[in-house]
Structure 1
Amino acid sequence: MKNETFSKVEHIFSALIRHRTWVVMAVAVLTAVMGYLASHVEVKTVFSDLLPKNHPYVAVNQQFKSTFGGSNMVSIMIEVKEGDIFKPSVLAKVQKITVGLQQVDSVDTYQIISIASKKIKEVRASTEGVESRPIMWPELPKGPAEMAVLKEAVLNNPLIYGPYVSMDLKATLITADFLDGDINYSKAFEQIMSLVKEADGDGVMVRVVGEPVLYGWVNYYLDETIQIFFAAIASLVIILLLITRTWHGTVLPLLAGVISAIWALGAAKLMGFHLDPLVIVVAFLITAQAISNSVQLISRYDDEIAHGASSSAAAAVASAKNLFKPSMLAIVADAGCVLVVALTPIPMLEKISYIGTVWIFSIFISALVMTPVMLSFFSGRGGFVHPLNIRPVLEAILRGCAAVVTTRTRYIVLGLAGITFLVSGWYAFNLKVGDANPGSPILWPDSSYNRDATDINRQFQGSDRMFVVVAGKEKGAMREPEVLQSMANFQRYMEAQPEVGGSISLADILPQVRRVLREGNPMYAELGNDAGENSELTYMFVSGSDPGDMDRYADADAKNGAVTLFFRDHQGETIRTAVARVQDYVAQNPMDKADYLLAGGLVGVLAAVNEVILAGQIEAIALALLVLVVCCTVTYRSTVAGVFFMIPVMLSNTITFSYMAWHGIGMNINTLPVVALGIGLGVDYTFYIVDGIREELHHNPNVERAIVKALSSAGRGVLVTAMTLITSVGLWSFSSLRLQADMGLLIALWLFISAFSALFIMPAIVYVFRPAFIVGSKQRPIERAEEPAVVV
């Protein structure tokens, strides 16, 4: 069967090389077409792609975001270095930013709130009645007397003092919400930062946070990301040239990577997808896979030439024939592992999965076909490009690997591997789903964004928000004492969580109006005794106000309201605790006239993402492992093979997960694709070593000799590829985006573990346990190889 299969593959590649000019022209034309399409792929972040589909929290956010505030809110803090904010120069800056925000693209002008806006009001009682009027609009205070009145009004209003003016009076907050579907992060970021830059200085510090600003920073570093990408590719080429000392060993792997990238990006345009700048590291990893397959073929080609192949064409056919099975197995396994990510119902992950699958399958053409075809053009007897020869170093390393595997030292290696697996597997349970640290994990802790977030959370209740909808069963439910009292109790219950800095709802507004009616006596700061009184208090608050002023608290029919919670961070554990507390309160405090609905705002959306990721992580990893097992079982016609190849995957996964837990890298929407791809990555090198052992056993039944030979031939390709990719991927550690630097480290770790397993652990297991699908058995003996003449 083996000889029959080899014969078919040999004939196919012989035909391709006989017609190599036409093959090259066809691939060139297709690449040119796909290149044109690829040039029109947009690189951007679309917030809706980050939202899970058909999740109840997201449905609540989408339904009520225009009323109670969405997940794209920006918070701007103006803080003075000396004195307080009650100075004309400071308040003028507050007013200028507030007015300027109305001109920012995609901003919801009804959701711009500051002490200089019409939205923040005070309720005053006089002999003429009760009126609600803006606290500082449209004019700034004139003179010390008016400034003193403003200051007193702020201090006496708990809806302003604390939420919008800091307790030490040194800072004030401006918030603005954006329309999710229309926002252009880059444009909004530039406009916001222009306002911030203009206001900053003269004893005033301006801090700004929010998703539009965060993704604006990501887009701001896009040029740097692309530069690092090409620098990594350039370093890869230099290292390959240094190690291989040949042009074909340098240019052809790069050509394979470029063709795969162009075809994948062209396919992305055909599918109507864009490329998110945060996943460019994943793109580099898949490109590296194309390069890796090409390097294996070139390494085998050089061996064929060294062993006296009759021509470069004959050597190219032989290398393609002998490495076809492990190469195809690696491609199919990698593609299957990436494809299962699409089962996680988040559009961004689905798009990454589809693009990645096409990208990996394109390696079949870019590396498995084009590399042997292009090798046939080269002269197999050409000289070296430079005199530096590090091949003896590589051979010494591989001899060391063989010595470890074929002596009793192999038991030490296997023992240490087992201990490492158990320890790392235990520690991996500390891996957190969601963000693992305060601030944004996308940027470094000392970035201006994360420093701004720390400062805003220090002065105010919290920059991250979640609203819980109180959905009434009929109109006017928000005026019922039972409902309002439940909201007040719910707020106190949630504020007991340390990460919740505060909350606000209609239940906070009405007691303040009632107190004003009683000459400011705090004893009367209570809710109305019945729905009628609460209705009157609401009317007094909104009298003379603009449409939409009450939207933050309740809708026009008073049927639905919201409790808005302010969080000091959005770590995964913080969000899970908050959601659990909401669910606990709702279960213990049912209402007849309304229900609580989770959840909107940024924290509500992140809660949905984390829940989907938690389920998706387990599902994706389990299915990726199943894909791997099925591929190996079918290829080698042995269930033992499926279990055998899981060993390096499980080891690389537990070590990587434990590293993520130790280094504070959470499992989130950005890391999940790398994890799924890492399952395939963790075993690719082993495919080549195992197939090298099996191939040698077809010529000689000595297992020890087969392992040594496989390590010296296929092992060289593994070593060259691993050294090249680990070194080049290290350049991502210089990225201004922490996420990319972390992903670079994870990829490097995966590559190292995969190479170490392939060169030490798996050959040692073969030597000790002699699995039948590799070394044969009495029932399935190893078939003797024939040596047919290659005709090209």
Structure 2
Amino acid sequence: MIERIAELCIHRRKAVVAVLAALTLVLSWFALRIEVRTVFEDMLPSQHEYVKTHERFKDTFGGSNMVTIMFEVKEGDIFQKAFLDKVRTVTLGLREVSAVNPYQITSLASKKLKEVQASTDGIATTPLMWPDLPANAEQMAALKEAVLRNPLVYGPYVSRDLQATLITVDFIDRDVDYTKVFEEVRALVAKVDDDSVRIRIVGDPILYGWVNHYVPETINLVAAALAVTLSMLFVLLRTWRGVLLPLLAGVVSAIWALGICHLLGIHFEPLVIVVAMLITSRAVSHSVQIVNRFDDELENIAKGAESARHAAKVALADLFRPGMLGVIADAACMAVVALSPIPMLQKLTVLSVVWVSTLTISAVILTPVMLSFIRKPHGTVHGVDLAPLLRKVLDFAVWMATSRFRFAVIGCSVVVMAVSGWYAFNLKIGDANPGSPILWPEAAYNEDSAAINARFQGADRMFVVVGADGQQDFVKKSEVLTAMNRFQRFLEAQPEIGGSVSIADVLPVVSRTLREGNPRYQELGDSQATNGSLMAVLDSVSEPGDMDRFVDSTYANGAVTLMFRDRKGETIRTAVARVKEFIAANPLETGSWQLAGGLIGVMAAVNEVILSGQIEAVALALLVLVVICTVVYRSTVAGMLFMVPVIISNTLTFSFMAWKGIGMNINTVPVAALGIGLGVDYAFYIADRVKEEIAAGSSPEKAIYMALHSAGMGVVVTASVLIVSTLLWWASSLRFQAEMGLLMAIWLGISAMSALFVMPSVIYVFRPEFIFGKKERPVLAGATPGLQAD
């Protein structure tokens, strides 16, 4: 069948090229229109209980797209008219930012922060600094005193040293456009930024805004990596076909993938450029293998008009199986990620599977078809020949595989797999370091985050809801408020949680105010009636929306909001475990606790999905790979044999991630899944060439020699080229891209070493039947021909 496919493609080469060119032209029109953006809702596992809680209460208690802006004075304290005017200007300007929730803008200059006052005329709440700034020193001093005696402001919104203040603003999840928000907020802040004040901004809209901000730089890195790839291919292969055809394969596969995904309504996530580069590297690898085999075949046939066609047909026929097997393995391992309930990973899976599948056309078929058109295939374009040096490396690999050192190679491989596999269990789920792992520690965003968390309770939030649906005034119960208060004190014992706030913090302030400010009465009421009266007093002097961050409109549900100083996976898991521990130890007579909303709440949901599914996903991907190899080679031994390079490359890479503190999160999971397929691609070419030589009658030693000097040469060339080009990503301003580039280089390097040294040794020692064929049993002397002895 493969021979017929090869014969058809080469015989009808003009028709094949015409059809592929037409399809590429059509799909390029769609590819240029694909959207490049980050959609927040795609990152959420919508069926997870935390996300359900978040979606239900986010408009009341705060969403996960909150932006925090810190104004920090350089001299004196914040109670200076010029300084507070800047705060007021930004607070008012935030109302005009795209997708802003105007009811979730909180600062000294907003109506949200108020002072509760009691007099003979009754009780009243007065905004601390709205609508006007303090007009004189006396009013400024009064503002300062009001801040100092308000525990809901002093600490949460004004730093303890009085040198900084916060503005918090939330955005509507379904409408937020990170690029617009990033640009508009930064432009607003730039209007008031001068030498007298230091302004810091954090929040997911700003974080992903920085990602989009660096897209031009990312494109430049892609161009640089491409230039290095083409230059090295030109030097190593010494032909224009060795440069242009891998480039053509990569470009065609990208056009087809992006065009098809646009038709499917899938957008392009900026962070997955790393995955795109990884898949493109496979296109280059497959194409180089075919070009290299084409060149090898030319040496064995006479020059002539038909020599190129014949060599192209042989290259297509002989490499069709390992090429297709590599494509199928990559696609199948990536498809496992689609089992995740996170829409972003599901869409990325479709994009990746489509992209990998296009390599069948762009590399496995188009490359040999284009090679068949070459009229003078025997020449080279420059005199620098590095082939002798590369052949020395391959000679060493042959010697290692066929000498007694082959046992040492296998033994060392087993030790490496065991040690790296054990150490890989230290891999963290979620973010492994403070700040955002997407950016470098010295990036402005991470420095701003560290500065805010040092001065305030924490920039990232999680809310836990306590309530009973349909039970109006449930939160007014004394036992509920007491439970909320105890819950806060219990959670605040965790060092990474800087503070918390709930209605149980507000009512004691009202109680004290009603009793002429006597701190003795700063406590919750001892009955539902007392607490209900305090809430009624507070509600009567509040404006619509003032109570939203504490309770819903019917007092059936209340929120405890926790402020986190970092978003590390370990921090989030500890907090969630402590929440569950408190709930289990302090059951309510009626009602229930609901986890968990806000940014930290949804991150907890994502981390739990990844934690619960990662081991199963890796195991399933390995199982899929075993099944594919077993079916293609019709041997269970084949499935087990090809696990060797996969396990080596993946355990070593996961160990490196654990060592360098690279967490397994929503951005790194796709790279890990694709890496499983990546770890075996080179081995397919080596093993298949050994099988081919054995079938032609070669001895095991000669078969390994020929395989390494043919397919092995392609492995050396592609691995060296792609390792150097991917290492260029270390220059990226996005730490995620830099680390994933390094991971790709490690994966490629380990995969190549496994294919060149480990696989030949394993094949030579164990002589698997699917490669060497069935061994004939000897016939005893004198026995009847056709009968074998027991």
Asked whether the two chains share a fold, i.e. TM above 0.5, the reply is yes
Q: 1:471 aligns with which of 467, 471, 475?
A: 467
Write the distance in 2 (CA, Å) between the matches of 1:543 and 1:165.
Answer: 26
Equivalent in the alignment of 1:325 = 321
Q: 2:164 aligns with which of 155, 159, 171?
A: 171
Equivalent in the alignment of 1:761 = 758
Are 1:592 and 2:615 an aligned pair? no
- 8 Å contact kept, 2:298–2:378: no
User: How far did residue 471 of structure 1 move?
Assistant: 1.8
User: How far did residue 380 of structure 1 move?
Assistant: 4.6
Task: Please tell me the residue identity of whatever aligns with 2:441.
Answer: P
- 8 Å contact kept, 1:37–1:265: yes
Are 1:405 and 2:401 an aligned pair? yes
Are 1:9 and 2:2 an aligned pair? yes
Write the distance in 1 (CA, Å) between the matches of 2:12 and 2:772.
Answer: 38
Residue by residue, what CA displacement relative to the aligned partner does 1:21-62 show, whole Å, maximum 9, x if unpaired? 111111011001110000110101000010013111001100
Equivalent in the alignment of 2:784 = none
* Greater alpha carbon shift after TM alignment, 765-774 vs 744-753: 765-774
Write the distance in 2 (CA, Å) between the matches of 1:381 and 1:114.
Answer: 73
Equivalent in the alignment of 1:301 = 294
- 8 Å contact kept, 1:334–1:680: yes
Are 1:540 and 2:537 an aligned pair? yes
Equivalent in the alignment of 1:372 = 368
- 8 Å contact kept, 1:305–1:380: no
Task: Please tell me the residue identity of whatever aligns with 1:216.
Answer: G
Q: 2:237 aligns with which of 244, 248, 254?
A: 244
Equivalent in the alignment of 2:356 = 360
For residue 443 of structure 1, give the secondary structure of its aligned residue in structure 2: coil
Equivalent in the alignment of 2:450 = 454
Equivalent in the alignment of 1:5 = none
Identity of aligned residues (%): 57
User: How far did residue 507 of structure 1 move?
Assistant: 0.2
User: How far did residue 97 of structure 1 move?
Assistant: 0.9
**Which structure 2 residues correspond to residues 135-146 of structure 1 after superposition, within 5 A?**
135-146=128-139
- 8 Å contact kept, 2:123–2:541: no
Write the distance in 1 (CA, Å) between the matches of 2:552 and 2:536.
Answer: 13
For residue 524 of structure 2, give the secondary structure of its aligned residue in structure 1: coil
- 8 Å contact kept, 2:246–2:363: yes
User: How far did residue 714 of structure 1 move?
Assistant: 0.8
Are 1:417 and 2:413 an aligned pair? yes
* Greater alpha carbon shift after TM alignment, 545-554 vs 13-22: 13-22
Q: 1:213 aligns with which of 193, 206, 210?
A: 206
Equivalent in the alignment of 2:569 = 572
* Greater alpha carbon shift after TM alignment, 672-681 vs 306-315: 306-315
Change (3 A) 1:92 1:261: same
- 8 Å contact kept, 1:125–1:519: yes
Write the distance in 1 (CA, Å) between the matches of 2:672 and 2:437.
Answer: 17
- 8 Å contact kept, 2:6–2:313: yes
Equivalent in the alignment of 1:693 = 690
- 8 Å contact kept, 1:510–1:538: yes
Task: Please tell me the residue identity of whatever aligns with 1:579.
Answer: V
* Greater alpha carbon shift after TM alignment, 459-468 vs 375-384: 375-384
**Which structure 2 residues correspond to residues 226-305 of structure 1 after superposition, within 5 A?**
226-305=219-298
Equivalent in the alignment of 1:430 = 426
Residue by residue, what CA displacement relative to the aligned partner does 1:710-761 show, whole Å, maximum 9, x if unpaired? 1111100111110111111111111110001111011110000100000001
Equivalent in the alignment of 2:628 = 631
User: How far did residue 780 of structure 1 move?
Assistant: 11
- 8 Å contact kept, 1:249–1:298: yes
Q: 1:719 aligns with which of 716, 721, 735?
A: 716
Task: Please tell me the residue identity of whatever aligns with 1:112.
Answer: I
- 8 Å contact kept, 1:514–1:527: yes
Task: Please tell me the residue identity of whatever aligns with 1:437.
Answer: N
Are 1:38 and 2:31 an aligned pair? yes
Write the distance in 2 (CA, Å) between the matches of 1:720 and 1:178.
Answer: 50
Write the distance in 2 (CA, Å) between the matches of 1:668 and 1:53.
Answer: 17
User: How far did residue 546 of structure 1 move?
Assistant: 1.8
Are 1:671 and 2:668 an aligned pair? yes
Change (3 A) 1:737 1:176: same
Write the distance in 2 (CA, Å) between the matches of 1:647 and 1:21.
Answer: 41
Are 1:188 and 2:178 an aligned pair? no
Q: 2:515 aligns with which of 506, 514, 518?
A: 518
Write the distance in 2 (CA, Å) between the matches of 1:410 and 1:62.
Answer: 59
Equivalent in the alignment of 1:70 = 63
Q: Gaps (5+ residues) in structure 1?
A: 1-7, 782-792
Q: Gaps (5+ residues) in structure 2?
A: 779-790
User: How far did residue 231 of structure 1 move?
Assistant: 1.7
TM-score normalised by structure 1 residue count? 0.96
User: How far did residue 586 of structure 1 move?
Assistant: 0.6
Residue by residue, what CA displacement relative to the aligned partner does 1:134-185 show, whole Å, maximum 9, x if unpaired? 1111111111111111111111111100000000000001100000000111
Are 1:620 and 2:617 an aligned pair? yes
User: How far did residue 532 of structure 1 move?
Assistant: 2.0
- 8 Å contact kept, 2:53–2:595: yes
For residue 599 of structure 1, give the secondary structure of its aligned residue in structure 2: strand
- 8 Å contact kept, 1:57–1:608: yes
Task: Please tell me the residue identity of whatever aligns with 2:399.
Answer: A
- 8 Å contact kept, 1:483–1:593: no
Task: Please tell me the residue identity of whatever aligns with 1:620.
Answer: A
Write the distance in 2 (CA, Å) between the matches of 1:192 and 1:541.
Answer: 33
Task: Please tell me the residue identity of whatever aligns with 2:513.
Answer: V
How many residue pairs align between the two structures?
Answer: 774
Q: 2:93 aligns with which of 92, 100, 103?
A: 100
Q: 1:112 aligns with which of 105, 113, 121?
A: 105
For residue 191 of structure 2, give the secondary structure of its aligned residue in structure 1: helix
User: How far did residue 93 of structure 1 move?
Assistant: 0.7
Write the distance in 1 (CA, Å) between the matches of 2:110 and 2:532.
Answer: 25
Q: 1:342 aligns with which of 338, 343, 347?
A: 338
- 8 Å contact kept, 2:695–2:772: no
User: How far did residue 302 of structure 1 move?
Assistant: 0.3
TM-score normalised by structure 2 residue count? 0.97
User: How far did residue 127 of structure 1 move?
Assistant: 1.4
Equivalent in the alignment of 1:784 = none
